[in-house]
Amino acid sequence: MVKVLGIDEAGRGPVIGPLIVAGAMINEGEEDSLEGSKDSKLLSHPKRLELDKKIKKNAEYLIIEVSPKEIDETLNSDDLNLNWLEAHKQAEIINNLKPDKAIIDCPSPNCKKYEEYLRNLLENKKIILVVEHKADLKYITCSAASILAKVRREQEMDKIKKQYGDCGPGYPANLKTKQFLKENWEKYPEIFRQTWSTFKNQAKMKNQKVLF
């Protein structure tokens, strides 16, 4: 049996909350067990919850949370960026689940270079890697991983809202998130990605007010 793993993420762009990287693995030919899975952005919230249960019942899976602090430390380092951080998390999933084939929704514009970087992090150098853009639209295991990641991200955002207040979805362009950031960036720095320009701009504005 050939074990096929799909990997995708959720929460790459938000200024609030974690990045989630998830993997879902089935035996080749058992795609029917994930029927209904598609890119999580194309599904309603209730449908995602329903499929999340189905995927966890029928597939091996692993979900990794990357905190705002870890993202900031990565972006402040000299040798890593967000793409390479994601590759390290994908490698962790692959090394744990040990598939024969892994399908990756590539975050980098250069799929070939990304594949080379990822392969160097793997214990099994001979694994079949499929590294493509929009893989979550083409491969059902990637779609399933997309759903697992999105549901976990939503769960983590619900926890943040319960503890800190309604911050919206966490995306910088969202009006509710913008207002929350403006009012709480100093109060709750631990939930923000402080390397994001939207966060830095708040600190910059405060310093300008102090100067004037």
The DSSP call for residue 192 is: B
pLDDT at 212 over 60: no
pLDDT at 199 over 70: yes
Neighbouring CB atoms inside 10 A of 49's CB total 15
Q: Report domain 166-211's class.
A: mainly alpha
- Please give the structure tokens belonging to residue 167: 């911050």
Q: Report domain 3-161's class.
A: alpha beta
Rounded to whole angstroms, how far apart are CA atoms 100 and 113? 21
**C-beta separation of 5 from 127 below 8 A:** no
The per-residue pLDDT for range 16-58, each reduced to its tens digit, is: 999 999 999 999 999 999 999 988 888 999 999 999 999 999 9
**C-beta separation of 125 from 138 below 8 A:** no
Listed by start position, the domains of the chain span: 3-161, 166-211
pLDDT at 206 over 80: no
Q: What is the average pLDDT score of the chain? A: 95
Neighbouring CB atoms inside 10 A of 79's CB total 6
Amino acid in position 85: L
Whole-number pLDDT of residue 84: 97
Q: What is the pTM of this model?
A: 0.94
Q: Can you list the positions of beta strands (E) in 55-196?
A: 60-66, 101-105, 128-132
The per-residue pLDDT for range 61-120, each reduced to its tens digit, is: 999 999 999 999 999 999 999 999 999 999 999 999 999 999 999 999 999 999 999 999
Whole-number pLDDT of residue 32: 92
Please give, one letter per residue, the 3-state secondary structure of 151-187: HHHHHHHHHHHHHHCCCCCCCCCCHHHHHHHHHHCCC
* DSSP states along 29-59: T-GGGGTT---GGGS-HHHHHHHHHHHHHHS
Triad 106, 21, 185: Cα angle to 5°: 110
Percent of the chain's residues with pLDDT above 90: 91
